[in-house]
Structure 1
Amino acid sequence: MITPERLTQLGRLAEVVPAPDGSWLAAAIARLDEDDAAYVHDLWRIPLDGGVPRKLTRGPWDDRSPRFRRDGSLCFLSNRAHGKKPEEGEEKRAQVWVLPEDGGDPRRLTDEPLGVRDFRLAANADVMVVLADVWPGVAHEEQRAHAKEVSEKGPSLLHYTRMPVRYWDRWEPAASPHLIAYTSEGEERRDLTPRAHRAHRDVGWDLSADGERVVIGSRETVHADRIEDVWLAILSVKGAPDAEPIELGRGRRSSHQAPRFSPDGLRVATARTTRREGELYAHDLVLYDLEGRERVLDEGWDRWATPECWVDWNTLLARYDDQGNVRLARVDAAGKGVEKLPFEGSYGGAHPLPEGQGFVGVGHTLLQPPRAFRLVGSVMEWLADPSGWEPDEVAEVEVEDLAFAAPDPVEEGGEPATVRGFLLKPPGEGPHPTLLWIHGGPISQWSDGWHWRWNPLVLVQAGYAVALPNPRGSTGEGHAFTAGIWGNRWGEACYRDLMAVSDGLAAREDVDEGRLVAMGGSFGGYMTNYLGGRTERFAALVSHAGLWDLRAFYGVTDVPSFFGMQNASTPWEGEIDKHSPHRNVGSWESPVLILHGSRDYRVPVGEALAMFEALQAHGVESELAVFPDENHWILKPRNARAWYRTVIDFLNRKLA
């Protein structure tokens, strides 16, 4: 069974990349460091012929993001020492290193003063492009000294003239990501985006196989809703640094993710979302050419697809959420149709193998951690797994598909909706204490997939059955189902869906109706808080990073404009707190555990403090657990173990 300790001890496969000859995969696998305080990655060699995996790098460093040069040598990001006394902070800054094909010690290729965020290598050319932070107005040779001086002596001032100013767990810094071109040997450095400013933060990008062009998301705020558009800029790797880029999809109230160059470098596939007044945004899988002409590839397909890779010149591989799975599909680039692959579970991180040998990627299920796979035609093959996982560890856990009729139709006048999900049960006939675990997002889903942060198996080993429902607002059930939470309706159909699921669970013989509890994080925390003021059904509640006072939340989250668009209101216009949990605090009866990270800027910790104060003032049994060094997610291994132990201890005490 999976305990908190075992969950953090397992090797964590992050990604796999095939060698140019298609004979083996380079894999990045995370493990605990020597101090049991953080995760670091090693690189592994996984043969495609069924051979035994072999570790390629080892030591205290974080070696990740494997990429192959066309000569077969393996490059990667690492924070390993440079062979000299490192400057302060250097251990946090990654550079590109190369592991020669014929063996030997890794050799550093870059020396970006603020480190490298990400990099790409051209498949058919000796070109490398990196994404690296650069201080504005500071010469390249002075960047490192400037960063050190500001860090040690200040000033620490950050000055803004427009939103957004924070993201996730950080204030937007003065330094910004730039695209820097090199030869594949790390020579002839050229800044392709000297005027980047904030444009390329947290966006997708790609390098063409011939090394001639880069496509990258470019952020700008130009519309009255003050939500950033992300259009695609195509830059010439060898052109003048100040040349104007080719613009794709600019000015359309849209955002582009996961751009992927076609093998000839003349087309770009991307996922595009387009904002619409009063409605949930539209989602399309789009193909652009370099003239800006576009073709929608998923017309009439009621799923949201995201590009993975090109299988060949005419076929794109995409992933999509589908009724609790993250599936793969082959998409014809001429718009002639979609071939859905029949495999259940969760799949992604795909790369094509040479000469039509299929493709490889990473797959997982609720009972199987991430593992490399190869798919040839319609035949799936799981590859050797060096993570240390043994299937017998969950042999006694039963997974059951759930489906309950909801009181609300998907669309007005239609048939009642079906709310699907999963139920994981511990050994024995029961009745079991049962946890209703509500996912975040809200535009997301529980999938038949392994989750390192929110893993239900840890609660199962503690004796709980765990239900994972996908109520209104979830993906994988079609656009109209997802739109059921849009337009200030968070507390409506989604709430009734969750109550329908809890009704269905309570009626089961293997569920102890008197020991039914609810838990959620982020939007799931919000729904847990909403349940607390609306029903006495649950014997206990656990709220992680949950929203409490929606009017106060609007001004302090890092995404206020998007939150306002979702709910068609602001604190000064409309009823933004129409479904705010704080309005029902006087009706709250169930004991509750509140958990939060202090560095959370998505749902700031003030929500937890306000909630705890309100519940204490109203005499509600309530406990507060705070992680001062964590953000929206509890990621450090010791903290993650403490999170699970705290939750299990609280539930055990309240259900005793």
Structure 2
Amino acid sequence: MSLFVLLAVPLSLQSQPHPFTVHDLLSMDRISGQQVSPSGDKVVFVLRVTDLEADRGRTDLWMVNIDGSGLTQLTTDPENDSDPFWSSDGESIYFLSSRTGSKQVWQHILKSGEEKQITSLPLDVNYLLPSPDGQNLAIIMDVFPGMTFQETRIKVDEREKRKSSGVIYEDLFIRHWDTWEDGRRSHLFIFPLNGGAPVDLMPDMDADTPSQPFGGIEEIAFTSDGTGIVFTTKAVDEKEAWSTDWDLYYVPIDGSVEPECLTEKNEAWDTQPVFSPDGKILAYLAMDRPQYESDRYRIILRDWPDGPERVLTANWDRSPSHFFWSKDGKKIFAVAENLAQGILFSINVKTAEVTPLIDRGHLRSPSLAGKRIVYGLDNLKSPVELYSSDLKGENIKQITAINADKLAAVEMGDYEQFSFSGYNNETVYGYLVKPADFDPSRKYPVAFLIHGGPHGSFGNDFHYRWNPQTYAGAGYAVVMIDFHGSAGYGQEFQDIIRGNWALPMFDLQKGLAAALEKYPFLNGERVGALGASYGGYMINWIAGNWPDGFRCLVNHDGNIDERMAYFDTEELWFPEWEHLGTPWDNPDGYEKHNPLNYVKNWKTPMLVVHGQKDYRVVVTQGIGTFNALQRKGIPSQFLYFPDENHWVLKPNNSILWHDTVLAWLNRWLREEE
């Protein structure tokens, strides 16, 4: 069945566009993981579709010519296929699939369509990366340090048969993000394609590669000749929970020597190694300040293997998240947050001159395709589609239109960016999204969204959890402020809230006032504030320090007690940096902006949302918030997800989340009939 039929048939019954809803959000097919062929004329990518019946996403591999022709589905197995990489000759694609009950490496032969299983290992393969010479695969498996993957399998099976369930821990982490630790580590293996057993390149290291829980294969790179590999890991023993000292290590692929640390002198974060086309320079990202996970990444150039280093972007006040070399090695292309966009820059390797190329929307995983650049791009009205441009960021061409029919069937709110004078009289930016049914003569209730982080951003991208179009489709105007502390406005702008988490409320107050003045269709008497994580913390802070600002509040996974949050979270480096030390060394750093101290002022109705598997902001923080609201007699609800973490990810839970949140807003913000 063709992609057109799959996407268009459900919409054919709809004659007129309808306001955007959570069901439309979930129906959007998601592009990721695009990889350009060695010849530069084809792109393979992952396409995720939502299966509401199975309550999960399903992924398959698709391929398209760079000119947009020849869109073809490559894999059709009911189980997930992902992580595609081209073979060095461009005649096949390696990928991961769970079709045999465990995640293994498979190969799709393009000419015949044949699919072959490459690995049949007793453990799941979590990541893969082919070597440039086509002889080996780098793969990642979870093993117990000092044990082979076979021994690991035996130990895991024995544990599952035990009658007792207790676990003894002697150091941190005991749990991380949404998972209890069991002693296994993500290790880097070399798998020879011509036969032979996988080789653990870090057998005795009590450390992970890639970084947990969100690192990926971009943290690993083969040398240009394929004889060695550079990877990212944090080998700091008992300091793991309060250190951000990720380092780069080099090891030959035969594992004949122990990995060598390349960045030992830097106690902050080093990651994403990328070799120049001629293999003579290793570029990587490095932070400067230990414990600060949102420090500015600088691009470092190191003459390979042991030559001098220089900071290429010392004078560039932006933090690249992804980068790659030009074919001639004279430029580096980098993506960085900039004024609520995720844009593409060109950096001259010799002069360090930085030039913005594509400056609207959010670019995803750009890479070279001959004389062009292929990238994903999304914005506030469109999920990711594939595009290409020339090397100057011009002559842009759209490659895919996967969601064109679905987008044509919905009404979304138009959006615009605005600015105002915020804290310290500095320019602060925000976004206004109009209701889908916008009529300039009407007054609309306002959903005031507060982002997390706090060093995040609500910008020009298509979000699958906090998408303003779901509120616009329900008849709300949406206001989002990138307050001081947000990413993409310079490091000083971001750093200034360290030790003062209450400061962003000033920008939120000024920003809402500026929006109400600029946009006369906003009903300032009917505004509800919503936030998650730091945004949830800010909701609790607002409840006690701006109690007359809103008619209702929504707090998702937010702390009520910032002091206790240090003791019940997992990544201790975060509060130690943000609050200037530990609670016992600097108690005032936690108490001066602790929402708990202002509960006596609470009076605004609040919906509280929390997931049981959230180990970043634990569920008792949400329960404590709800307890306080109930004890004070404040109208309140508690939406509890026993199977979700810091995020609500399951499709049917997402529907319940959106329905509950919108019902809460409607209860307090709609005009009485």
Using structure 2 for the length normalisation, give the TM-score: 0.90
> What are the residue-to-residue correspondences of 1:206-605 with 2, within 5 Å?
206-221=221-236, 226-240=242-256, 243-275=257-289, 281-289=295-303, 290-291=305-306, 293-312=308-327, 313-353=329-369, 356-377=370-391, 378-387=394-403, 390-393=406-409, 397-406=413-422, 408-409=423-424, 416-426=425-435, 427-429=438-440, 430-486=442-498, 488-492=499-503, 494-507=504-517, 508-535=519-546, 536-574=548-586, 575=588, 576-605=590-619
**Aligned position for 1:87:** none
SS in structure 2 opposite 1:275?
coil
Q: How far off is 1:440 after superposition?
A: 0.6
The correspondence for 2:179, drawn from 170, 184, 191, is 170
Q: How far off is 1:640 after superposition?
A: 0.7
Q: How far off is 1:199 after superposition?
A: 3.9
The 8 Å contact of residues 287 and 295 in structure 1, kept in 2 or not, is answered as yes
Distance 2:187 2:208 in 1: 9
Distance 1:199 1:484 in 2: 32
The 8 Å contact of residues 270 and 307 in structure 1, kept in 2 or not, is answered as no
SS in structure 2 opposite 1:420?
strand
Distance 2:346 2:559 in 1: 39
The range that moved more, 311-320 or 439-448, is 311-320
Q: What letter corresponds to residue 172 of structure 1 in structure 2? A: E
* 1:55–1:447 distance in 2 versus 1, CA, 3 Å: same
The 8 Å contact of residues 232 and 247 in structure 2, kept in 1 or not, is answered as yes
* 1:57–1:516 distance in 2 versus 1, CA, 3 Å: same
Q: How far off is 1:360 after superposition?
A: 1.0
**Aligned position for 2:24:** 6
Q: What letter corresponds to residue 51 of structure 2 in structure 1? A: D
SS in structure 2 opposite 1:498?
helix
Q: How far off is 1:570 after superposition?
A: 2.3
Q: What letter corresponds to residue 563 of structure 1 in structure 2? A: P
SS in structure 1 opposite 2:119?
coil
SS in structure 1 opposite 2:563?
helix
Q: How far off is 1:130 after superposition?
A: 0.5
**Aligned position for 2:97:** 78
> How many pairs were matched up?
633
Q: How far off is 1:517 after superposition?
A: 1.0
Q: What letter corresponds to residue 384 of structure 2 in structure 1? A: P
Distance 2:76 2:291 in 1: 53
The range that moved more, 331-340 or 373-382, is 331-340
**Aligned position for 1:622:** 636
Q: How far off is 1:13 after superposition?
A: 0.8
Distance 1:283 1:16 in 2: 24
SS in structure 2 opposite 1:316?
strand
Gaps of 5+ in 1: 82-90, 410-415
The correspondence for 1:147, drawn from 135, 156, 172, is 156
* 1:217–1:643 distance in 2 versus 1, CA, 3 Å: same
**Aligned position for 1:412:** none
Distance 1:464 1:46 in 2: 38
Q: How far off is 1:142 after superposition?
A: 4.0
CA distances 1:451-489 after superposition (whole Å, capped 9, x unpaired): 112111111101111112100100111111101211x20
**Aligned position for 1:17:** 35
Distance 1:155 1:310 in 2: 53
Q: How far off is 1:111 after superposition?
A: 2.3
* 1:186–1:5 distance in 2 versus 1, CA, 3 Å: farther
Distance 1:542 1:278 in 2: 29
CA distances 1:352-398 after superposition (whole Å, capped 9, x unpaired): 12xx4222121111111001111213322111223465443455521
CA distances 1:560-615 after superposition (whole Å, capped 9, x unpaired): 23212211132212211210111111111210000011100111111101111112
* 1:583–1:149 distance in 2 versus 1, CA, 3 Å: same
SS in structure 1 opposite 2:188?
strand
* 1:29–1:135 distance in 2 versus 1, CA, 3 Å: same
The range that moved more, 452-461 or 261-270, is 261-270
Q: How far off is 1:544 after superposition?
A: 0.5
CA distances 1:27-64 after superposition (whole Å, capped 9, x unpaired): 10111237341112011111223314111111311000
SS in structure 2 opposite 1:229?
coil
Percent pairwise identity: 29
Distance 2:146 2:241 in 1: 31
SS in structure 1 opposite 2:126?
strand
The 8 Å contact of residues 328 and 347 in structure 1, kept in 2 or not, is answered as yes
